[in-house]
């Protein structure tokens, strides 16, 4: 699932450009952006922004010219927006956390100087993260397709109702239950929505799909980890209620009763930029403030 890509491959261009995606409307972020733009400009790197964010951030708007990297300033939601921009360009995403947890970000705000130094020197490396593709089938016809970095969710459309589904793996029924919904997550997404739903944490190097029911009314309602080449299908009861299919909580589709939602490994990954050598275990402990000193340490 993961592979390291030299950041210089295909990026040797006369004009160096970095696309910024930021959480706008905050004075502290505007200040960080100004400092970053000045620092990069001194090194011959132009920082540009999305059309609806450029005026607020005081940056030129991105055009059709290529960019070598997408810099995300904000929380995980901002990084997911940045991934939408970077994925079709096959550019890396380098995240700086200016939010709360910011699990996907490479560094927190107090290390932004290291990020800018890495951009200038092209000393970052790109690591592919697995994505998921979804296809919604209605009456034998594919009516909607999308992708996600974290997860695909199939959830009830109305709060007061129950969504009746059958979950299948490679065409074989796994379980049927009434529920609030079902998540199909990547390893990256295992620390996001799926984590809140009680699913296991899956290390990024593990190639797998995580299936997690949401508040299911069933004896067997445990999260399951299936192979990366499997197809997970969520079949909505034809006599039941509508559902909503959401990709990373950002792009959605209203699925009528009887819909079949097929989720499989994504064709195109998202490349996350790394500038340090922090291990996933250490990041997990740091972000979730996990206790790593047990009774053995307390004896001394």
Q: What is the pLDDT of residue 14?
A: 65
| CA–CA separation, 256 and 157 (whole Å) | 10
pTM attached to this predicted model: 0.88
Spatial neighbors of 222 by CB under 8 A, at least 6 apart, are: 213
Please identify which residue in the block is written with the tokens 């996001």: 192
Q: What is the pLDDT of residue 298?
A: 59
Percent of the chain residues past pLDDT 90, beyond the cut: 69
The segment with the largest mean pLDDT, out of 56-65, 67-76, 92-101, is 67-76
Which phi and psi (to 5°) does residue 219 adopt?
-65, -40
Strands (E), 1-57: 4-5, 16-22, 45-49
Q: Is the pLDDT of residue 12 over 70?
A: no
Which domains are present in the chain? 4-129+269-288 (3.40.50.10330), 132-265 (2.60.200.30)
Q: What is the pLDDT of residue 3?
A: 47
Rounded (5°) CA angle 181-152-154: 25
Q: Is the pLDDT of residue 11 over 60?
A: no
> Known catalytic residues?
76
**Are residues 238 and 258 in contact, defined by beta-carbon separation less than 8 angstroms?**
yes
Q: Please choose, from the candidates 180, 188, 187, the residue with its C-alpha nearest in 3D space to the C-alpha of residue 154.
A: 180
Q: Using 50, 70 and 90 to split pLDDT, how confident is the model at 4?
A: very low
Residue 239's alpha-carbon distances to 135, 164, 210, 235, 242, in angstroms, are: 21, 9, 27, 12, 10
**Are residues 205 and 218 in contact, defined by beta-carbon separation less than 8 angstroms?**
no
Mean pLDDT of the chain: 90
Tens of pLDDT, residues 173-185: 999 999 999 999 9
């Amino acid at each position: 699932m993961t592979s390291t890509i030299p950041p210089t491959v295909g990026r040797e261009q006369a004009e160096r450009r970095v696309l910024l995606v930021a959480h706008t409307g905050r004075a502290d972020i505007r200040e960080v952006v100004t400092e970053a733009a000045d620092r990069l400009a001194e090194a011959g790197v132009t920082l540009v922004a999305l059309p609806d964010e450029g005026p607020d951030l005081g940056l030129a708007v991105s055009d059709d010219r290529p960019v070598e990297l997408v810099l995300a300033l904000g929380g995980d939601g901002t990084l997911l927006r940045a991934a939408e921009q970077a994925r079709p360009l096959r550019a890396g995403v380098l995240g700086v956390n200016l939010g709360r947890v910011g699990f996907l970000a490479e560094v927190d705000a107090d290390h932004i100087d290291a990020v800018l130094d890495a951009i200038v020197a092209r000393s970052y490396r790109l690591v592919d993260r697995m994505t998921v593709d979804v296809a919604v089938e209605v009456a034998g016809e594919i009516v909607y397709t999308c992708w996600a970095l974290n997860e695909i969710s199939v959830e009830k459309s109305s709060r007061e109702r129950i969504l009746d589904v059958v979950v299948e793996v490679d065409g074989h029924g796994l379980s049927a239950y009434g529920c609030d919904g079902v998540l199909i997550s990547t390893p990256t997404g295992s620390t996001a929505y799926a984590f809140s739903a009680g699913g296991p944490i899956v290390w990024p190097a593990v190639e797998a799909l995580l299936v997690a029911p949401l508040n299911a009314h069933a004896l067997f309602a445990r999260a399951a980890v299936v192979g990366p080449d499997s197809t997970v299908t969520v079949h909505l009861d034809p006599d039941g209620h509508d559902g909503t299919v959401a990709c990373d909580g950002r792009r959605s589709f209203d699925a009528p009763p009887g819909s079949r939602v097929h989720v499989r490994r994504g064709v195109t990954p998202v490349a996350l930029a790394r500038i340090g050598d922090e291990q996933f275990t250490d990041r997990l402990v740091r972000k979730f403030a996990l206790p790593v000193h047990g009774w053995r340490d307390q004896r001394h």
